[in-house]
Each structure stands twice: as C-alpha cells, then as structure tokens.
Amino acid sequence: MLQRFMIVIALGFLGVSPILAETPLGLAVEGVQKIRLNNKEGKSQIKFVSEAPMENIHGTASDIVGDLTFDPANLEEMTARIEVGVASMETGIKKRDEHLHSKDWLDAEQFSKIIFEVKELKDVSVKAQEAKADIKATAMGQFTLHGITKEISIPVEMTYLLASEKTKKRASGDFFVIKGKFQIALKDFDISGNRGMVGSRVGTEIELDANFFGSTASDAAKE
C-alpha cells in the first residue's frame, strides 16, 4: 500500500496523472455519481399501451424528471426518484386525453405525478468495453400512481458512456441511459373509470415502456 502511494506521489511530481482503477462498473469511474434525468439530455419518454377487445390504445408521456445516484463500486445500492407528469400523457386524440386526465380516470389535477423510487438493484450483471458499460439488473422500489403506492420490481437495461466527442453532441459529462418495460394492473391503483371516450376501450392492464436519458454534468449532478 505504501509503495503504491509513493508511486502516485512520484507521478504527481512528474506531471503524470495516475490511471483510475476499474470498478465493478468495468470503467475507470470512481466516487458516487449523481445523474439528472430530463429531456435536455435526450428524448426521455414513456410509451404506454392498453389492449382491450374493442381497441388498442397507444400513448406517450414526456414530462419526465429524475435523479439517480450510485457508486460504481457497489451498483446494488443504486437509488433513484423519477417523476412523470400525468398531464403529459397523450394518446393522439384530444377528447380522449381529456377523459384520461379527468377524475373518472387518472385525476391529473389531484394526482399530478406518477412516481417511481428505486431503493436497490438485484441480479446485477455488467458488460464493459472501452468507454461503455452495459448493465442489466432488476430495479426494486415503489411505484406511485393515482395516490396509491405499491412495491414493484422492474427488469432494466442501463448504459453508461464515458464523455467523448460523440456524447458531447447530446450532453456534457458522462452519458447515462435507462430502459425498462413492465405492466401494471389498473385495479391495484383504484382506477376503474368506465365513462367517456376511454371507457371500456381500456384493458385491465397497462404496459409501460420507459426510456430515460441523463448525464453527470447536469444541474443536479453539480450540486
């Protein structure tokens, strides 16, 4: 240990920067990383699909913000809080969107946010190559919709890209991508509206496909 310390000191005097050791992330990244997820870094979006006998409804939500924190040396302890604005959920038909946001359904006025809080990761695997690390895991946490919170686990795929000339075209700092797909049952969140243009066209389950983007150089990461 003393010998390694003396080598680092000597390199400092010579004006040579010591190379950071690789962590379980597989990249030369050290210390706690803070990432802000928002649409300034890319096209963060959630796609949702409801399959019902009468009609399949497809839509998107784009008002997405969030913070993610993790230590490359201990990826299992990653935490995050991601919020989605209910009013940003759109299906392509204005009248139907109005019903979707109404008290008969999601009640965007009273319950304006859908929230997912990540408490930890399980079953983490990492594949690293050069300046990129692909991470697969199960995100464990809580999902809040319509004022009701449920425990949930979501398979996720994440990509960590070290800053480069290519990534700088999208965002400053290291670039981070999260993808996850899962289903929820409407009855679990006390959503059972059956009036208006939505009505019986909505299935009992909704499939959500999330794509989030962020970087270490965002405003939150600098705090």
- Classify residue 6: in a domain, yes or no: no
Evaluate whether 123 touches 76 at the Cβ level (below 8 Å).
no
Highest mean pLDDT among 28-37, 65-74, 163-172, 195-204: 65-74
- Classify residue 174: in a domain, yes or no: yes
The confidence score (pLDDT) of residue 48 equals 94
- Classify residue 26: in a domain, yes or no: no
pTM of the predicted structure, to 2 decimals: 0.81
CATH number at 56 reads 2.40.128.110
What are the φ and ψ backbone dihedral angles of 72, each rounded to 5 degrees? -55, -25
Domain that holds residue 43: 33-222
- Classify residue 20: in a domain, yes or no: no
Poorest-pLDDT segment among 10-14, 58-62, 68-72, 118-122: 10-14
- Classify residue 76: in a domain, yes or no: yes
pLDDT (tens digit per residue) in 115-146: 999 999 999 999 998 899 999 999 999 999 99
CA distance 33 to 71: 6
Count up the domains in the chain and report the number.
1
Q: What is the mean pLDDT of residues 4-31?
A: 55
- Classify residue 113: in a domain, yes or no: yes
The confidence score (pLDDT) of residue 8 equals 38
- Classify residue 208: in a domain, yes or no: yes
